[in-house]
Amino acid sequence: MEHSLRAQLEKAIRAIPNYPKEGIIFRDITTLLGDASAFRRSVDELVHPYSGSSIDFVAGIEARGFILGGAMAHQLSCGFVPIRKKGKLPYDSISIEYDLEYGKDELEIHKDAIKPGSRVLLVDDLIATGGTAEASILLLRELEADIIGSCFVIDLPELGGRKKIREMGVAVRTLVEFDGH
């Protein structure tokens, strides 16, 4: 069963060489999202360990984390909180600058998005160096969230993001791994 899931996801995820820069292979999940069976299985597998848990919010990282996170929040019967790029939220927010593999960026979350002690599950499509997930965890911790785990469809283990997030004390769940960038 596990092997067939991996094969299905590997087939459903498009690889785009030299994007966003030379030497990087971009793993595009829009093809997975367009495959009803692969999309459903991905969400089901990401949610499975948390079914029956008391989760207050799924926090999705812009932008593909919104798609996965919304579906996961629906299945878990909890709220959804967006973690957005700087300047996109209309209300009082907190922000953090972080390093990307190929530059810098900034994320923000509404100050009142969650109450202290809320149980939060973090989600995005891919974990590479872990910079975006690390920044998101720091934002959630600033709001005093109880981060019960993080979920990603894709792991690029050579880049060390999974290890970085685990060292922050946050469990990591991924569905498929790819070598390289």
Residues that are catalytic: 64, 101
3-state secondary structure the chain: CHHHHHHHHHHHCEEEECCCCCCCEEEECHHHHCCHHHHHHHHHHHHHHHCCCCCCEEEEECCHHHHHHHHHHHHHCCEEEEEEECCCCCCCEEEEEEEECCEEEEEEEECCCCCCCCEEEEEEEEECCCHHHHHHHHHHHHCCCEEEEEEEEEECHHHCHHHHHHHCCCCEEEEEECCCC
